[in-house]
A and B are shown apart, each in its own frame.
Chain A
Amino acid sequence: KAGVTQTPRYLIKTRGQQVTLSCSPISGHRSVSWYQQTPGQGLQFLFEYFSETQRNKGNFPGRFSGRQFSNSRSEMNVSTLELGDSALYLCASSLGFGAFYNEQFFGPGTRLTVL
C-alpha cells in the first residue's frame, strides 16, 4: 500500500509570492491534516479536512488556507509569503475523524524556503 505522498518535495520562493502544496493520502483514508515544522516552534497544527470539509484549524493567519477534493487529496496554499514561512510542511492522513479517528500517517514533507 502506497504511503502519503507530497509534492513538490522542495520549493524556493521569494517574499510576496504564493505557493500551493499537494498531498495524496493513503488509499482509503479520508482525513488529511497539515502541519508546519520549524526549529523554533516545533510541529504546529495547521488544519484538518474530512469529507471535503475543514474540521479543525490551528492558530495561523488567513494567508494559510487549504482544501480537500472528493478523492481525499488535499492542497494547502500560502499567499503573500513571508520569510517566517520557511519550514517543513507535513501532511498526514488517517482513516476517519471523530469516533473513527485512528493514528495519522505522515508524508515526507515539502521543504519550503522563502528568500
Chain B
Amino acid sequence: AQKVTQAQTEISVVEKEDVTLDCVYETRDTTYYLFWYKQPPSGELVFLIRRNSFDEQNEISGRYSWNFQKSTSSFNFTITASQVVDSAVYFCALRDFGGAQKLVFGQGTRLTINP
C-alpha cells in the first residue's frame, strides 16, 4: 500500500532562515510520481512540483529546491531565505503509475514564517 509520512507537524522559523520539510514515502510500485502542494490560508491547494520515480535529479526553482533520494524513499523540500508569504501548510503526495493510481497525501506540515 502507498503511504506518505511528513513527520514534522509544525515548523516555525524567523524570516530569512532556511527551512527543510521532510517527506518519506512507501510504495511497492517501481514507477510513481511524487508531488508537493502548498495550501495557504485561503484553502486552495497550489501545485509546486512533480517528480517521476525514474528521475532523481534534484530541482531548484528560485528559493525552492527539492531533494529526491530513492535509496531512502525521501523527497524533501527546502525553502531558502524564507519569507512571510511562505507561511502555509505543505503537503507531499504520491501516486503510483500502475496499481491503484490514487493520489495519497501526507498529513501536511504547517510552516509559519515569523517576521
Smallest CB gap from B43: residue in A: A109
Docked complex Cα distance between A43 and B43 (Å) = 12
Which secondary structure dominates chain A's binding surface?
A: strand
B57 neighbours in A (Cβ, 8 Å): none
A97–B101 contact, CB under 8 A? yes
Docked complex Cα distance between A33 and B47 (Å) = 15
> Count the B residues whose beta carbon is within 8 Å of the partner chain — how many?
22
| Residues in chain B within 8 A of chain A (CB atoms) | 33, 35, 37, 42-47, 50, 91, 95, 97, 100-108
Interface size grouping (class) on chain A: 20 to 34
Kindly provide the distance from the CB of A24 to the nearest chain B CB, expressed in whole angstroms: 15
Docked complex Cα distance between A58 and B33 (Å) = 19
Smallest CB gap from A56: residue in B: B102
Q: Given known contacts A106-B44, A108-B42, A108-B43, is B108 in contact with A56 (CB within 8 Å)? A: no
B107 neighbours in A (Cβ, 8 Å): 42
A58–B44 contact, CB under 8 A? no
B101 neighbours in A (Cβ, 8 Å): 48, 55-56, 97-98, 101
Is A76 among interface residues, defined by CB-CB distance under 8 A?
A: no
A105–B102 contact, CB under 8 A? no
